[in-house]
């Protein structure tokens, strides 16, 4: 973890994503990129066995000036890293990209969930930079006194045109 010190020409971020001043990155010294690899960042183990509807969110940065085979591979494990499932394979992006992953779509909700981010530059022939920031686990649940009905945006117990209007309003106005 470090303070980004990139320049527009080197491919690494000039600043972190969430404004804290730091992020995980492949090399804070100017001009130090991924060579060979993979360079890996593994999360600690998370206990999601009691989670209802867990999502993992993060912001990622990955540049590859040659746009060749170099990638940032994002994986999840539900057995403490014994086996990994690929969530995404990123070849190149422009700036920070926010991601949101529903854990149940790619792993079981166990007491041994981990994430792994692997960046590589192989063969060592390009400027390849990776960074990660704003990593969070969010668990959504409906209150037991509320009936959650798919599509009922305004929660009036009906799915109708009023829901479309409210959705459009929320989309435009927040």
Average pLDDT over residues 49-55: 93
Quote the CA–CA distance of 124 and 157 in Å, as a whole number: 58
Do residues 51 and 139 touch, judged by C-beta distance below 8 A? yes
Quote the CA–CA distance of 119 and 107 in Å, as a whole number: 22
pLDDT band, residue 50 (cuts 50/70/90): very high
Quote the CA–CA distance of 144 and 134 in Å, as a whole number: 30
Of 5, 118, 124, which Cα lies nearest the Cα of 62?
118
Average pLDDT over residues 66-74: 83
Quote the CA–CA distance of 133 and 92 in Å, as a whole number: 17
Q: What is the mean pLDDT of the chain?
A: 86
DSSP class of residue 105 equals G
């Amino acid at each position: 973890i470090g303070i980004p010190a990139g320049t527009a020409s080197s491919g690494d971020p000039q600043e972190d994503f969430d404004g804290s001043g730091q992020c995980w990155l492949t090399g804070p010294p100017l001009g130090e990129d991924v060579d060979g690899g993979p360079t890996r960042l593994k999360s600690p183990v998370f206990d999601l066995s009691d989670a209802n509807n867990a999502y993992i969110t993060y912001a990622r940065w990955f540049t590859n000036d040659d746009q060749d085979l170099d990638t940032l591979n994002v994986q999840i494990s539900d057995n403490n890293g014994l086996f990994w499932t690929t969530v995404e394979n990123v070849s190149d992006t422009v700036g920070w990209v926010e991601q949101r992953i529903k854990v149940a779509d790619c792993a079981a909700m166990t007491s041994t969930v981990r994430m792994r981010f692997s960046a590589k530059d192989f063969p060592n022939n390009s400027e390849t930079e990776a960074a990660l920031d704003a990593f969070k686990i969010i668990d959504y649940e409906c209150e037991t006194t509320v009936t959650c009905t798919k599509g009922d945006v305004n929660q009036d117990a009906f799915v109708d045109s009023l829901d479309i209007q409210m959705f459009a309003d929320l989309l435009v106005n927040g």
